[in-house]
Amino acid sequence: MSYHTRPYPEWSWSLARDQMFHACKRQYYYHYYGSHGGWLLTATPEAQTAYRLKQMKNLYIVLGDAIHTVAQKLLELREMGKPYPKQEQVISYIRNLLNAAYRDSKQKDRWWGYPKQYTMLHEMYYEGGLSPERIEVIANRITTCVSNLLASTSWREIRDNPDVTLLEVETLKDFIFHDEKIYVKLDVLYRRGDGTWVITDWKTGRIAEKNEEQLRLYALYIHEYYSVPLTHIEVRTEYLLDGICTRTHPDVEDIERIVHKIRASLNSMKSYLADSYYNRPLPLEQFAGAGHPSVCKSCNFRQICSEKQ
């Protein structure tokens, strides 16, 4: 049977999508529309290039992914009743992952042909290398984040309490809310013996207000998908760089805020569609670039963006 891809991607909403939409409409277009189908040999050269560029990651993202991988493996070991690695072993594992990303990035031709199988660092692609300052910052963050992960409130609670039941670990899920498909990805969801549902989000960056919206969205998901009363939900952010755990018990007002956010965001995004049924976007020219140096410098699509700054 021959394989067919949709002419346009499936419509859905996520907080990450909303954040990119408001940061830069042109980046949003390339990420969600211009790159669609770029994995096919029959795709246009523009779509193929956009698809490749979409796969790039900067060093901070690679570190964050590595920390999440470690957290997931620790949780798996807990479920299997196996011993946990020492802190030095975890640090060495993460360093190896980052070194592998660096080696991949030096093989541009290989990545260009298989962008999902190999890693390309944004710094290597656009700047030609990693600065000593960036390497030092990341090296320090590895040690700090690993130490704080192993000492974190959530990990110790999961590790030391047999009455904790893991429900979701690094799982991309969707739920329907007001006839719209909403995507969420929880780092870990577990239920304590007292009936409390705990959502934990591991963060390797600095404390930011935008994380509050993410927590409200997670609470809405648990409330809608699992039919859990808000009084039984606790959402946490483990800031591994600062060693701080914030806890929130969402209330009706929190849910109303995120619902309002979703509705307003959906209306804004759909105003950039020529056909909402097929999710066909307006022409590229209607998606203006951010025009801000800080946004453009970190954008994966600098190579093809027609908004020359």
Domain span at residue 119 reads 15-152+283-298
Secondary structure string (H, E, C) spanning 250-308:
CCHHHHHHHHHHHHHHHHHHHCCEEECCCCEECCHHHCCCCCCHHHHHHCCCCCCCCCC
94 found inside a domain: yes
This prediction has a pTM of 0.92
Q: Where are the beta strands (DSSP E) in the chain?
A: 165-177, 180-191, 197-203, 233-239, 244-248, 273-275, 280-281
With H, G, I as helix, E, B as strand and everything else as coil, classify residue 121.
Answer: strand
The torsion of the CA quartet 22, 23, 27, 33, rounded to 10 degrees, works out to -20
Nearest residue to 258 (alpha-carbon basis) of 290, 294, 233: 233
Structure tokens at 277: 């049924």
Q: Is residue 105 a contact partner of residue 124, using CB atoms and an 8 Å limit?
A: yes
As a whole-number percent, the residues of the chain with pLDDT over 90 amount to: 89
Q: Are residues 147 and 172 in the same domain?
A: no
Q: Are residues 35 and 144 in the same domain?
A: yes
Q: Are residues 123 and 179 in the same domain?
A: no
Q: Give me the chain's average pLDDT, please.
A: 93
Q: Is residue 53 a contact partner of residue 300, using CB atoms and an 8 Å limit?
A: yes
Domain count, the chain: 2
Nearest residue to 219 (alpha-carbon basis) of 244, 189, 195: 189
Which CATH number goes with the domain that contains 240?
A: 3.90.320.10
Q: Is residue 183 a contact partner of residue 172, using CB atoms and an 8 Å limit?
A: yes
**What are the phi and psi torsion angles at 247 (to 5°)?**
-125, 140
The pLDDT value recorded for residue 206 is 80
Residues 6+ apart with CB under 8 A from 214: 15, 201
Higher pLDDT, 206 or 70: 70
231 found inside a domain: yes
182 found inside a domain: yes
The pLDDT value recorded for residue 209 is 61
- What confidence tier does 178 reach under pLDDT thresholds 50, 70, 90? confident
pLDDT in tens, 22-79: 999 999 999 999 999 999 999 999 999 999 999 999 999 999 999 999 999 999 999 9
As a whole-number percent, the residues of the chain with pLDDT over 70 amount to: 97
Sign of torsion over alpha carbons 83, 87, 92, 98 = positive
Q: Is the pLDDT of residue 2 over 50?
A: no
pLDDT in tens, 245-262: 999 999 999 999 999 999
